[in-house]
Amino acid sequence: MYSLLPVLAVFARILVAFSPAFFVPLGWALALDASEHALLWEVCFGLTLGSGLLLWVLTRKHRRELQPRDGFLLVNMVWLVLPAYAALPLMYTVPDITWIKAYFEAMSALTATGATALSGLDALPVSINIWRCFLQYLGGLGIMLLVVAVLPMLGLGGFQVYKAETPGPMKDSKFTPRIAETARGLWAVYFAFSLACFLAYRWAGMSWADAFMHMCSTMGLGGFSSHDASIGYFNSPAVEWVAIVFMALAGINFLRYFIVLRSRSLRPLLHDREISNYVGVLVGSVVLVVVLLLVHEVHPDLGEAIRISAFHVVSLATTTGYASTDYATWPVFVPILLLFLGSFVSCAGSTGGGIKMIRMILLIKQARRELVRIVHPRVVNPVTLGGSVVPISVMTATFGFMLIYGAATMGLTFIMLLTGLDLVTAFSAVVATVNNIGPGLGLVGPSSNYGVLTEFQLWVLTFAMLLGRLELLSVLVLLTSQFWRK
């Protein structure tokens, strides 16, 4: 019989490591003279720390090397249980909030989805908005990478955790001899970009608190804001351009930035097929949307059309989900295009969601290969990427992922339709949550939020966010009988 105790022993340490995160909103609350909320954060810290220590005491004798299935179970446990602790502050500060809305909000934050069920964000305590956004910062690159980098348990099979958590099909490339070194390198790059983004937002006119919050949700590609009007609240072209630049940077594989620093050369970025396609799709989409906005006279000024188009294309394509206007009122082709872009544009190894650009490239190459085989059945024409033949195992995993991705999207959409939702709302809500985009269309469009949905519908979409963040297979493998056999 498969034993959970060794996994619980590691999870206990993760829970202890997560507890200091409550000091971030506590520090801001004290700095902004909102000390009446200090006790809340102290209690949440104590409860999380106490739970972790108690679990550690109960399981401390059950330590062993993590096996592959242990990594998958641990990652799922983290992304299911941590939102419950993260939801506690919301329960005691947000008026009339239910447990499912609090858990939905916390899951949305930690999965960097950005789908909010809350209204009246401007009236919430600053520390609560900071907490929501900071959770996206942790979840953006993956809290598991942080844990692997800093906890002294790296001898317990850290690479199995890395493989379960890291998005994209190329998970066996560690780039450094030890996974801990890779994780620390990724976080070093993440922190460097974050500092630059924070200062840029401040330079653009945001307050220190707003700059910090929007830095967190920009680098995490989550899209939470401290205002109901999102970025539109600031009505600032400078703020939008800062967001465009750093959203686009965060949508690129952070491992490439790490390699650039190690090699001191831009060649890894300039010669990366995925990145070149990423940039090409973004630029092409911006041009297309600009033309449509001008033709339909939505924004007749060329400069304004370019900025508005670039902001929303980059925001939705990178699965950030910021909005400065209600783009759902634009010509119908545009919001559908934006939702489609969010499904695949982000690079593997970025903080974005979706199926990732690399998978789309592999699928297109395989389609071309099959077309050639129809004409020349005997030709040897393997799928290549960057001059190297893509292993059959990678292609098989990509096909399996896409099959399950399509089935999950359709299945969840049918469930939402059974609850009485209209087709546009049901389908766009599932696509937006499975791909961790945030806003959908219809009742959950950019001018509304997910608070209009029923509790059951929120549970369905909470599961969809988990599926998307852990790329489906890491979650669904737990539902197979083979996983639990010894």
Encode pLDDT of 387-444 as tens digits.
778 788 778 888 888 899 999 999 999 999 999 999 999 999 999 999 999 999 999 9
Q: How far is Cα 293 from Cα 308, in angstroms, rounded to an integer?
A: 9
Q: Is the pLDDT of residue 286 over 90?
A: yes
Q: Judge whether 484 lies within some domain.
A: no
Q: Judge whether 336 lies within some domain.
A: yes
Q: Is the pLDDT of residue 150 over 60?
A: no
Encode pLDDT of 253-285 as tens digits.
888 888 888 888 888 888 888 899 999 999 999
| Mean pLDDT computed over 54-62 | 87
Please count the structural domains in the chain.
1
The whole domain housing 332 covers 274-341
Q: Is the pLDDT of residue 296 over 60?
A: yes
Return the pLDDT at 158: 43
Q: Are 430 and 413 in contact (CB under 8 A)?
A: yes
Q: Residue 374, Cα to own-chain centre: how many angstroms?
A: 39
Q: How far is Cα 47 from Cα 37, in angstroms, rounded to an integer?
A: 16
Cross-strand pairs, 384: 389
Tokens of 231: 């970025």
Q: Judge whether 53 lies within some domain.
A: no
Question: Nearest 5 degrees, angle CA 263-CA 265-CA 268?
Answer: 85
% of the chain exceeding 90 in pLDDT: 56
Tokens 């465009």 -> residue? 244
Q: Judge whether 284 lies within some domain.
A: yes
Q: How far is Cα 186 from Cα 327, in angstroms, rounded to an integer?
A: 34
Q: How far is Cα 142 from Cα 164, in angstroms, rounded to an integer?
A: 11
Q: How far is CA 284 from CA 269, 295, 313, 327, 353, in A?
A: 19, 17, 10, 18, 20
Dihedral angle of Cα 19, 464, 75, 216, to the nearest 10 degrees: -40
Comparing 84-93, 121-130, 134-143, 326-335, the range with the smallest average pLDDT is 134-143
295 CB burial (10 A radius; 0-12, 13-18, 19+): exposed
Q: Judge whether 321 lies within some domain.
A: yes
Q: What share of the chain is helix, strand, coil (3-state, %, to 5)?
A: 70, 0, 30
Tokens of 343: 């499904």
Q: Which residue has the higher pLDDT, 388 or 290?
A: 290
Return the pLDDT at 151: 41
Q: Are 127 and 39 in contact (CB under 8 A)?
A: no
What integer best gives the mean pLDDT of the chain? 87
Helix (H) or strand (E) holding 388: strand 388-389
Q: Is the pLDDT of residue 146 over 70?
A: no
Q: Is the pLDDT of residue 160 over 80?
A: no
Tokens of 363: 């699928």
% of the chain exceeding 70 in pLDDT: 90
**Phi, psi dihedral angles at 262 (to 5 degrees):** -70, -35
Q: Judge whether 49 lies within some domain.
A: no
**DSSP per-residue string spanning 421-481:** --HHHHHHHHHHHHTT----SGGGSTTS-GGGS-HHHHHHHHHHHHHHHTTTHHHHGGGSH
| Mean pLDDT computed over 186-207 | 94
Q: Judge whether 302 lies within some domain.
A: yes
Q: How far is CA 382 from CA 87, 98, 362, 397, in A?
A: 49, 53, 11, 16
Show the DSSP H helices in 87-226 as ranges.
88-93, 99-110, 126-141, 143-150, 158-165, 179-203, 208-219
Q: Judge whether 325 lies within some domain.
A: yes
Q: How far is Cα 140 from Cα 128, in angstroms, rounded to an integer?
A: 18
Q: Are 315 and 331 in contact (CB under 8 A)?
A: no
- Residue 329 is classified by DSSP as G
Q: How far is Cα 170 from Cα 386, in angstroms, rounded to an integer?
A: 13
